[in-house]
Structure 1
């Protein structure tokens, strides 16, 4: 029996969008880990868009910095699919602390491309519920269902 296909939102944040060579390397890593890119899109967020996307972090000390960062330039959004896409994408990018990743897991994308805890270069959905919400915010209604149709 085949594993159920999941979809996840992968965001390459503004510092990466400005670096085409980095994007090519990341897309190579995505393919090497058997993810399917089912959709991709350049996104320019307003302050309201970023606040809505990261609403779960409102009130936390880093929230304003995160919103400023995410509105500082275009973001490259990828909808990725495969069995266990959510957990495997999060494994590939590593934790939100790039400096720790350089020491403990230098093979992760955040170790290779992340700058700081806030400017960590990537986003990955943390659950199916988050993936549904986030993919629909970026790619429109029913995006998760479309991207997981086998």
Structure 2
């Protein structure tokens, strides 16, 4: 394991939560859960940028609607730091469907539907590195292991 693996994740507060003025409350929950905000920016994605970000889902039926939604209003993109960052953030976010999310999770509190579920979080260390570098170029969170013979 490299020295950064497991310590960082990427998260994005989605347009529904931004428009509902939940940024501060969500950031507060994240910080109270022991995360440090390593990088943060608020921006509005163009439809083309949204399509690139969610390209992994391009063959899924929800892809076009997801891209349109993400480009519909500003988002807050951030790199978060904590031991076991990916797993801990996913637990804090709750299930994708807020109806199935545990009490006290971000999605249970702020999401209104499976489509408007307030927050995105990386699902692996590798995805966290890719998504972080998408929004914060030059931040190499995943150091490639070099094998020797």
Residues 7 and 79, structure 1, Cα contact 8 Å, conserved in 2: yes
Residues 16 and 121, structure 1, Cα contact 8 Å, conserved in 2: yes
TM norm structure 2? 0.87
Unaligned ranges ≥5, structure 1: 146-150
Equivalent residue number for residue 112 of structure 2: 115
Shift of 1:4: 6.2
How many equivalent pairs are there?
140
Of 124, 129, 135, 2:132 maps to: 135
Equivalent residue number for residue 27 of structure 1: 27
RMSD: 1.8
Equivalent residue number for residue 10 of structure 1: 11
State the SS of the aligned residue for 2:39.
strand
TM norm structure 1? 0.86
- Measure, in 2, the Cα distance between the counterparts of 1:134 and 1:4: 14
Q: Deviations over 1:39-87 (max 9, x none)?
A: 1101211111111111111121111110011000000112100110111
- Measure, in 1, the Cα distance between the counterparts of 2:117 and 2:5: 30
Shift of 1:107: 1.2
- Measure, in 2, the Cα distance between the counterparts of 1:136 and 1:4: 15
- Which is helix-richer, 1 or 2? 1
Residues 125 and 131, structure 1, Cα contact 8 Å, conserved in 2: yes
Unaligned ranges ≥5, structure 2: 143-149
